[in-house]
């Protein structure tokens, strides 16, 4: 029987000559080929000639459906004739050179790699082996290897590894054969096990024999040898071998030689290859030590400096920078301990809590509130051990050549909840109703009958301000299980109608200040800060704050409209709700950002005495000395020059005229009732004067090319030129008696001892450069992000550089256009009291300060990050403040709530309760806002009581101040007189906890409360003593669930530091299942799509809101967050976290702009409008919107989000910022997946969400 004819693709002529020859070759396979050697040679030679001369012949052989490759490989496997083998290798080489990707894939899939290895092993047994055959074999293997994922394994198992090594050793002078051998060795070495094996066979030393000093000859060979050596040195075993052999010095000498001789930069790839070898060697501690010992820092620094002017040499500069940063000796932070400078003794410490480890260490001080200043070796271990505890390479049988492929396979978020039982909400609130009855008094509106209330309209809102004062609870809930607080922390309750919040009777304490100091003259411009003091002898109350005529909220108020006009209003939502007129914004943009050119927005002035009189007690400022002026010694006697003249009068802008909710006098009164662990006795000027949002736009800052590189080089100069470094401590909270260190006026003066302040230490590095260290959260040893501090004593026009050196996140929006905020007291006095974005040369990068493994979740070898910015000052004798984001203190909240109550009209039902007392003795306010019933008839009272509830909360994370500004916008809208506000109050009852973590806010924490814990991870099982605000807020919700009045919407306001825009996280079983790909029945996936309605509405009406950034996936790490617990345990379908960017927007009306308080407050107002539209949608029986939501969900499953960086960032630890949905980052952006060290190419795959990961801990949301 004849063999079947060779298959051909339809359309290929069957009489094609090459196919006829292949058919002839196929018939010769087997014994015939061995018998008729000459014919086989002729046929293969003809095939090679056709493929070489006719492009169509190659296409015919490789065409889809053709069996040409199988025939060629079968012939190659069967032949024993060297010439025939060579002819077939020529054919394959020609075929695989063209259309390489697909053709090589076909070759590999047909088993071609294994056949080549067989021939290699067979040919290597011949002595001597055929040089031409070995040349062709290795040339072909070099082409095939990178496309075959199992290439290294096949080579090792077949024995080809040793064959290639031996051939290389025998042909060191034969460059023609040596080149393909090195190319194959380069591919072999990408497999880690092969690399170790090759190292044992002496290949590392072999490569060092091949690499040579500068020469114009054999540069291609040298480049391949360096590539192979670089791949080998990825193995730590081989890196140690190279260090032991003294090859670090050799590599540095070679690099210097090539750097000096390659003046025309024609051999940049060779220079880069040498640097890659150094980079891989310095991955181990021995390599870093050898690099330092051989003066590698100076060599690379000098060479890189010479390369800087040539843009094409950036790859060399970047790699050199990476090596130098890695080898820079790891230093401890300049602190006695990484624990917070302040200590608060908890009533009890849970054995498994994060504070237990801190408390188990020897205490740093005996007093409850004294500084913990005893260094703890176990806490502060920063030894360079990054490669000590890792497995040796020989023990890890990782046979994957392309590690990126493995990454691709692991891009799915492993944190997604896959337990369907946990995904379905529970209906059991968890606590017996008898325990929850005590919370009934917070819901008087549900039982109020309004008998005896006069519903006649009143002309004055003030006549109703006390109508329901009796309904406001001023006593905190007493939890039976809670231990009594120490007398030091028990507040003496008093109710002031002006403040409407419970405050302690005593005023703040300050360090002892002598009262006999001689008076000093005061000029209006020499301002420092206001220092509040407590007089033990005088207990008189402060004067009542003067009340000014308040303008109505211009954007949210207007004449009342009949009900039929509400639908029309809703149709023009974007026009109805705007916190700033667009034309004024545009005028501001045209005027530019210069504060000098712009006129003063505040024309009216007020006169205050300086020092400010608080409660009739003279306060004191200490003037600074030196030419810089404006300095001060905050609240201490260190170098005091005497008290200011009490008779001096300052003329300052009356910001209350433009800020209806701000009153400086009232703010000072509120500060007196605020309790802090450090017992702050000062008021920061920005909080006193207030903030008026600027009318000009503040665009995202464009990143200057190479800015990070230049900053890093300046850091490296500290090691190379140590004599240029001042290294002078100018501010230190670890010296509580005198944190401001006196000098001769040549240094800036710093201060952070005021509410929400955070700066622990300032060290002058150079004349105009300062390293700044942030304080940890109290009862914690990490969470460094929020900062708020004061600077004085500056020189006008001088450019200062500030480096915050203990940031923890692996990336930041400071790399993508965000600027710090600055407040100038001189500008405020001139009538421009405002925070403005400032700073140039801003970047964020890994530094040489080592993190403790305890603070890094047990991981060793982690580093802190530096956020650096430069700025200059425009005014002499100025006092400036810098902040991470617009500050919003607890005292500011109390002031705003008091002013809001004063704005209440007879139509508004407003009640303020004190939900509980915090650990630190501060009150947690609870607001109830709705519309008064029109009368006390049964119908109106029934409608009043049965309104759906909306439950809002904010500021569980103190550093997310933007959440408070959004909440401010919400509260102002709800208390406004516009028809929309009136309709909203008539539609819902609002229960609002505007600040869930007052203690954290007061004490300048970034994330935690005084318990040292993230309160948004305590919702599953809050402790009434350690987490009182969460415990009682959850109890309110549990009470509502018990009485069948669970909220329609629950929303927790947050801020997000790593993403732009405003967006929401919600909860959906269906979308969680889709993301996790777990099997589920249709009944499991049945859910109302109403959870998408509110975000959808917001995306239509709020210019800063982005629907594409929203996520409704439930993750395991979020199971203790407010959003998930309220959804799962309380049964609230519309349970959200609303995240507001700290940076700016990349879409919509505000695209390309940094976000400000105006936009944040607008977002809060738009949230209210969205609730009104939600009421309309849920009130009608039209489910078309649900169909629209279903299509939205389907659309998001196929949407591909792609983004590329628009600014230059170094690849090493600044990955391309991806604005895709980051399911892992819910308002925490604090942590998530373990931090990735980006040593290779930056991934452009938007699914690699772990590139945005931050800290290594699990306290996110």
Residues that are catalytic: 1139
For tokens 């006697």, name the residue.
637
Question: Ramachandran region of residue 1177, left (φ > 0), alpha (ψ -120 to 50) or beta?
Answer: alpha
Helix (H) or strand (E) holding 907: none
Q: Which two tokens mark 1081?
A: 């029945």
Task: Provide the H-helix boundaries in 190-295.
Answer: 192-200, 203-210, 219-232, 236-244, 247-261, 268-281, 285-293
635/680 Cα distance (integer angstroms): 9
282/284 Cα distance (integer angstroms): 5
Q: Mention every residue, 6+ apart, whose C-beta is less than 8 A from residue 842.
A: 701, 703, 707, 814, 818, 819, 820, 867, 868, 869
* 3-class SS letters over 460-511: CHHHHCCCCHHHCCCCCCCCCCCCCCCCCCCCCCCCCCCCCCCCCCCCCCCC
Q: Which two tokens mark 293?
A: 């010992």
Nearest to 800 by CA among 870, 867, 866: 870
> Cβ of 1256: how many Cβ atoms within 10 Å?
21
914/917 Cα distance (integer angstroms): 8
Residue 1205, CB half-sphere, CA atoms under 13 Å: how many?
20
Do residues 477 and 915 make contact, with C-beta atoms less than 8 angstroms apart? yes
Q: Which two tokens mark 1145?
A: 């927007």
Size (the chain), residues: 1261
Helix (H) or strand (E) holding 880: strand 879-883
Instruction: State the DSSP string of 1083-1107.
Output: TTT---GGGGHHHHHHHHH-TTB-G
Q: Which runs of E-coded beta strand occur in 475-628?
A: 530-531, 605-609, 613-614, 617-618
Q: Mention every residue, 6+ apart, whose C-beta is less than 8 A from residue 55.
A: 98
Residue 511, CB half-sphere, CA atoms under 13 Å: how many?
15
Q: Which runs of E-coded beta strand occur in 904-967?
A: 908-917, 923-931, 949-954
Q: Show the CA angle centred on residue 504, arms to residues 499 and 506, nearest 5°.
A: 115
**Hey, CA dihedral for 268, 270, 272, 274, is it positive or negative?**
negative
How far, in whole angstroms, is CA 540 from its chain's centroid? 48
DSSP 1220: S
1007/895 Cα distance (integer angstroms): 23
CA distances for 1119 relative to 1034, 1055, 1261, angstroms: 14, 19, 10
578/671 Cα distance (integer angstroms): 32
Burial class (CB in 10 A: 0-12, 13-18, 19+), 1071: buried
In angstroms, the first-to-last Cα distance of the chain is 74
Q: Which two tokens mark 471?
A: 């309904």
Q: Which two tokens mark 1043?
A: 């009485």
Q: Which two tokens mark 810?
A: 């692996």
Do residues 167 and 205 make contact, with C-beta atoms less than 8 angstroms apart? no
Burial class (CB in 10 A: 0-12, 13-18, 19+), 874: middle
How far, in whole angstroms, is CA 1081 from its chain's centroid? 37
DSSP 748: -
């Amino acid at each position: 029987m004849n063999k079947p004819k060779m298959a051909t693709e339809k359309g290929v002529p069957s009489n094609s000559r090459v196919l006829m020859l292949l058919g002839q070759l196929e018939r010769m396979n087997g014994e015939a080929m061995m018998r008729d050697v000459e014919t086989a040679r002729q046929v293969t030679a003809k095939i090679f000639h056709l493929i070489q001369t006719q492009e169509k012949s190659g296409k015919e052989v490789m065409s889809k459906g053709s069996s040409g490759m199988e025939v060629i490989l079968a012939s190659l496997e069967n032949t024993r004739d060297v010439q025939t083998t060579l002819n077939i290798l020529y054919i394959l080489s020609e075929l695989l050179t063209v259309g390489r990707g697909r053709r090589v894939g076909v070759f590999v899939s047909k088993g071609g790699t294994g056949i080549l290895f067989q021939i290699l092993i067979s040919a290597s047994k011949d002595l001597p082996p055929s040089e031409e055959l070995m040349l062709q074999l290795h040339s072909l293997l070099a082409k095939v290897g990178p496309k075959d994922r199992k290439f290294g394994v096949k080579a090792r198992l077949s024995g080809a590894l040793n064959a290639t090594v031996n051939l290389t050793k025998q042909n060191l002078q034969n460059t023609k054969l040596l080149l393909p051998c090195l190319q194959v060795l380069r591919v072999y070495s990408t497999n880690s096990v092969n690399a170790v094996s090759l190292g044992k066979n002496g290949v590392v030393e072999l490569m060092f024999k091949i690499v040579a000093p500068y020469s114009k000859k054999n540069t291609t060979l040298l480049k391949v040898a360096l590539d192979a050596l670089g791949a080998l040195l990825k193995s730590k075993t081989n890196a140690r071998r190279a260090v032991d052999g003294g090859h670090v010095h050799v590599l540095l000498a070679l690099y210097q030689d090539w750097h000096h001789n390659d003046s025309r930069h024609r051999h940049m790839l060779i220079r880069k290859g040498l640097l890659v070898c150094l980079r891989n060697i310095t991955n181990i501690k021995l390599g870093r030590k050898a690099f330092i010992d051989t003066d590698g820092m100076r060599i690379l620094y000098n060479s890189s400096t010479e390369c800087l002017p040539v843009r094409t040499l950036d790859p060399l500069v970047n790699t050199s920078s990476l090596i130098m940063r890695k080898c820079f000796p790891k230093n401890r932070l300049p602190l006695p301990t990484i624990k917070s400078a302040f200590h608060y003794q908890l009533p009890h410490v849970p054995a498994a809590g994060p504070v237990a480890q801190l408390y188990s260490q020897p205490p740093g001080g005996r007093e409850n509130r004294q500084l913990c200043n005893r260094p703890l070796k176990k806490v502060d271990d920063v030894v360079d051990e990054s490669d000590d505890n890792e497995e040796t390479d020989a023990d890890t049988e990782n046979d994957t050549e392309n590690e990126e492929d493995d990454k691709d396979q692991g891009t799915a978020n492993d944190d997604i909840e896959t337990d369907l039982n946990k995904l379905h909400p529970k209906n059991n609130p968890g606590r017996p109703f008898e325990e929850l009855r005590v919370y009934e008094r917070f819901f008087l509106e549900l039982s109020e009958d309004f008998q005896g209330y006069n519903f006649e309209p009143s002309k004055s809102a003030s006549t109703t301000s006390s109508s329901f004062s009796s309904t406001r609870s001023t006593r905190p809930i007493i939890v039976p299980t809670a231990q009594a607080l120490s007398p030091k922390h028990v507040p003496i309750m008093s109710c002031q109608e002006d403040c409407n919040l419970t405050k302690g009777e005593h005023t703040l304490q300050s360090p002892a200040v002598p009262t006999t100091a001689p008076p000093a003259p005061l000029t209006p411009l020499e301002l420092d800060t206001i220092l509040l003091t407590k007089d033990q002898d005088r207990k008189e109350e402060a004067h009542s704050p003067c009340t000014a005529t308040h303008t109505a909220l211009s954007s949210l108020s207007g004449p009342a409209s009949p009900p039929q006009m509400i639908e029309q209003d809703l149709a023009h939502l974007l026009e109805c709700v705007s916190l700033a007129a667009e034309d004024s914004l545009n005028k501001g943009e045209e005027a530019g950002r210069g504060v000098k050119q712009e006129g003063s927005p505040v024309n009216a002035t007020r006169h205050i005495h300086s020092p400010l009189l608080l409660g009739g007690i003279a306060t004191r400022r200490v003037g600074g000395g030196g030419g810089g002026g404006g300095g001060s010694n905050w609240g201490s006697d260190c170098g005091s020059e005497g008290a200011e003249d009490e008779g001096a009068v300052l003329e300052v802008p009356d910001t209350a005229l433009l800020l209806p909710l701000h009153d400086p006098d009232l703010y000072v009164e509120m500060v007196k009732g605020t309790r802090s662990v450090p017992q702050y006795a000062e008021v920061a000027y920005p909080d006193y004067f207030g903030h008026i949002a600027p009318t000009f736009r503040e665009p995202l800052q464009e990143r200057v090319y190479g800015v990070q590189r230049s900053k890093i080089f300046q850091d490296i100069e500290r090691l190379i030129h140590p004599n240029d470094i001042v290294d002078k401590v100018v501010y230190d909270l670890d010296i509580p008696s005198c944190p401001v260190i006196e000098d001769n006026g040549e240094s800036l003066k710093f201060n952070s001892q005021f509410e929400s302040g955070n700066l622990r230490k300032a060290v002058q590095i150079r004349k105009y450069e300062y390293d700044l260290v942030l304080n940890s959260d109290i009862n914690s040893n990490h969470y460094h992000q929020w900062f708020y501090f004061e600077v004085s004593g500056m020189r006008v026009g001088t450019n200062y550089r500030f480096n915050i050196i203990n940031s923890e996140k692996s990336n930041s929006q400071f790399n993508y256009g965000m600027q710090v905020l600055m407040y100038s007291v001189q500008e405020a006095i001139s009538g421009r009291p405002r925070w403005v974005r400032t700073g140039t040369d801003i970047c964020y990068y890994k530094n040489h300060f080592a993190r403790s493994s305890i603070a890094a979740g047990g991981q060793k070898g982690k580093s802190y990050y530096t956020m650096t910015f430069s700025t200059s000052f425009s005014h002499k004798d100025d006092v400036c403040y810098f902040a991470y984001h617009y500050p919003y203190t607890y005292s500011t909240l109390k002031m705003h709530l008091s002013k809001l109550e004063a704005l209440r009209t007879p139509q508004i039902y407003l009640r303020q309760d004190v939900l509980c007392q915090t650990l630190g003795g501060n009150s947690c306010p609870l607001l109830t806002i709705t519309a008064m019933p029109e009368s006390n008839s049964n119908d109106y009272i029934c409608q009043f009581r049965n309104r759906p509830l909306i439950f809002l909360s904010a500021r569980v994370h103190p550093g997310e101040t933007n959440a408070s500004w959004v909440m401010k916008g919400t509260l102002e809208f709800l208390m406004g007189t516009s028809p929309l506000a009136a309709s909203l109050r008539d539609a819902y009852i609002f229960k609002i906890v505007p600040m869930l973590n007052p203690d954290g806010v007061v004490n300048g924490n970034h994330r935690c409360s005084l318990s040292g814990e993230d309160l948004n991870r305590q919702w599953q099982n809050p402790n009434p003593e350690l987490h009182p605000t969460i415990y009682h807020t959850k109890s309110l919700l549990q009470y509502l669930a018990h009485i069948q009045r669970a909220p329609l919407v629950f929303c927790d306001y947050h801020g997000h530091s790593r993403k732009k825009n405003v967006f929401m996280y919600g909860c959906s079983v269906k979308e969680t299942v889709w993301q996790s790909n777990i099997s589920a029945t249709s009944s499991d996936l049945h859910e109302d799509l109403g959870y998408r309605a509110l975000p959808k509405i917001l995306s239509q009406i709020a210019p800063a809101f982005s629907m594409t950034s929203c996520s409704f996936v439930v993750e395991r790490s979020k199971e203790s967050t407010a959003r998930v617990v309220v959804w799962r345990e309380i049964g609230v379908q519309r349970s959200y976290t609303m995240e507001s960017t700290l940076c700016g927007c990349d879409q919509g009306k505000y695209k390309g702009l940094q976000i400000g308080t105006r936009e944040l407050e607008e977002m809060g107002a738009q949230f209210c409008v969205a609730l009104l539209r939600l009421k309309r949608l849920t009130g009608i029986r039209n489910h078309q919107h649900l169909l629209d939501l279903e299509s939205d969900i389907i659309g998001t499953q196929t949407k591909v989000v792609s983004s590329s960086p628009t600014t230059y960032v170094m690849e090493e630890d600044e990955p391309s910022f991806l604005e895709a949905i980051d399911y892992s980052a819910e308002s925490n952006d604090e942590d998530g997946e373990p931090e990735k060290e980006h040593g290779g190419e930056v991934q452009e795959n938007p699914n690699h969400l772990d590139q945005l990961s931050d800290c290594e801990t699990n306290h996110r949301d």
